[in-house]
Amino acid sequence: MSSRRIPCVGGIIRDEAGRLLLIQRGHEPEAGRWSLPGGRIEPGESDAQALVREMLEETGLTVEPGPLIGAVERPGPAGTVLDIRDYAATVTGGTLRAGDDAAGTSWVPAAEVPDWPLTTGLAETLRSWGVL
Residues 91-117 pLDDT 10s: 999 999 999 789 999 999 999 999 999
- Amino acid, res. 35: S
**How much is the pLDDT for 24?**
97
Closest C-alpha among 77, 68, 57, 59 to residue 22? 59
What percent of the chain shows pLDDT beyond 70?
A: 98
Q: CA Rg, the chain, in Å?
A: 14
**How much is the pLDDT for 3?**
78
**How much is the pLDDT for 25?**
93
**How much is the pLDDT for 8?**
97
**How much is the pLDDT for 2?**
63
Cα distances (Å, whole numbers) of residue 52 to 10, 16, 30, 65, 75: 10, 20, 23, 7, 24
**How much is the pLDDT for 92?**
97
Q: In which residue ranges of the chain is pLDDT below 50?
A: none
**How much is the pLDDT for 29?**
79
pTM (predicted TM-score): 0.93
**How much is the pLDDT for 91?**
97
